[in-house]
Amino acid sequence: MLLKNLNLASMSGSYGLMQKAAILIENGHIKWVGPEVDAPSGPAVNCHGTLVTPGLIDCHTHLVYGGNRANEFEQRLNGADYAAIAKAGGGIMSTVRATRAASEENLLKSGLKRLDTLLAEGVTTVEIKSGYGLDVATEAKMLRVARKLEKQRAATIKNTFLGAHTFPAEYKENHQEYLNIVCNQSLKSAFEEGLVDAVDAFCEGIAFSVEETEAVFKAAKKLNLPVKLHAEQLSNLGGAKLAAKYGALSVDHIEYLDLDGVEAIQKSGTVAVLLPGAYYYLREKQAPPVAALRSRKVAIAIATDLNPGSSPVHSLLSTMNMACVLFGLTPEEALLGVTKNAAKALGLADRGEIKVGHRADLAFWDVERPGDLAYPLGFNPISAIIQNGQFSKAFA
């Protein structure tokens, strides 16, 4: 398939702009890209001068879960705080109870609705974490649902095991026992079922300590799985430094990351994933250290963190806007954060830019310039979508 009359933003390095560009797709991959005048001959799809970017990548979501936490949203606005709700048995544990009780069929149905909302904005790759099961069977159930979601849509889904999301009520007083279950049972059996692409943990006062997180990372490394970490979201425990030591793909949240932490992830080539949705919903005051990340040239990605508690955000475009307004990212950094750098955060070398050899995952937009994508809130300028070389949404 040859596409002509494109306003290209390849996202190679920076926007990588080219007017009157053409793209040749073969076997789901980009075979050729360049000025239209140099394009191979043959019948072509006229793209009417629309802007084309790589398909967007949401590299951090928890979109498979049961129940909802609208009540906690209301409680917080009546003065309760996120950590206090969690300590009282709500928070993550509340979603754990609902997810354990939900059938696979219901999780699939509600997950599909959320996934489709993301995909409608030109998202073509989504990461989904477990972590609302916290027992062997339910962790596997969540990841199985994520694999089924991938079968039902042309999008790529990457599964992340998050058995170390928090200590379930039944092991609150016996961390060691739960760690044994995570490392030697849950992770192992989900891995053997082919359900795990990476391993994550929540390193925080209300969840796993640095030492406990390290035990999970060791178990991941034994299985040759890449790691990532929810780090320094509510406080600075030094989780990012540990993640860097284990060559983590990404450290996520990082509002409380200090300069030592920035330097550690710079050395390890770990991506800094910013989650402005959680910052916004929790009405957090401390913003992540964007200036330090920038000056050290750490790759910055952004993601929805779609989850029922701290970030019921179902829009990656809105997340780009929030990263700009709340964290001061430039629109260009925001777009790199959902393309090239988000691919890196998932360890995917075959997407995130429009270049030869990459997957033909493309989003077409009714906007003049790529910077316009981060500008509105609640408006979706998508025009067409190509997923793995095929139109999943055609030009109107």
Binding site for ligand DI6 (CB under 6 A): 62, 91-92, 95, 165, 202, 230, 233, 278, 305, 307-311
Q: Which residues pair with 104 in a beta bridge?
A: none
CA distances (Å), origin 119, targets 7, 153, 293, 382: 22, 9, 29, 10
Q: Please, which residue, 305 or 361, has the CB nearer to ligand DI6?
A: 305
Could you say which of ligand DI6, Fe ion, none residue 309 binds, taking C-beta under 5 to 8 angstroms by partner kind? Answer: ligand DI6
Only segment of 22-30, 73-81, 108-116, 302-310 that touches Fe ion (CB under 5 A): 302-310
Calpha distance 138→189 (Å, rounded): 12
Q: Please, which residue, 21 or 345, has the CB nearer to Fe ion?
A: 345
CA angle in degrees (0–180, nearest 5) for 325-330-336: 115
Instruction: List Cβ neighbours of 228 (8 Å cut-off, separation of 6 or more).
Output: 160, 198, 199, 200, 243, 248, 249, 250, 251, 252, 273, 345
Calpha distance 275→91 (Å, rounded): 18
- Site map (CB under 5 A) of Fe ion, residues 303-332, x = contact: --x---------------------------
CB 279, min distance to ligand DI6, A: 10
User: Which among 149, 177, 166, 150 has a CA at the least distance from the CA of 200?
Assistant: 166
CB 311, min distance to Fe ion, A: 7
Query: Which tokens is 2 given?
Result: 């040859």
Q: Please, which residue, 278 or 373, has the CB nearer to ligand DI6?
A: 278
CB atoms within 10 A of CB 177: 11
Could you say which of Fe ion, ligand DI6, none residue 99 binds, taking C-beta under 5 to 8 angstroms by partner kind? Answer: none
Could you say which of Fe ion, ligand DI6, none residue 315 binds, taking C-beta under 5 to 8 angstroms by partner kind? Answer: none
Could you say which of ligand DI6, Fe ion, none residue 202 binds, taking C-beta under 5 to 8 angstroms by partner kind? Answer: ligand DI6
- By Cβ distance, which residue is nearest to Fe ion? 305
Q: Please, which residue, 40 or 89, has the CB nearer to ligand DI6?
A: 89
Q: Please, which residue, 305 or 333, has the CB nearer to Fe ion?
A: 305
Q: Please, which residue, 36 or 204, has the CB nearer to ligand DI6?
A: 204
* CB-CB contact of 182 with 164 (8 Å): yes
Calpha distance 360→294 (Å, rounded): 29
Interface residues with Fe ion (CB under 5 A) are: 305
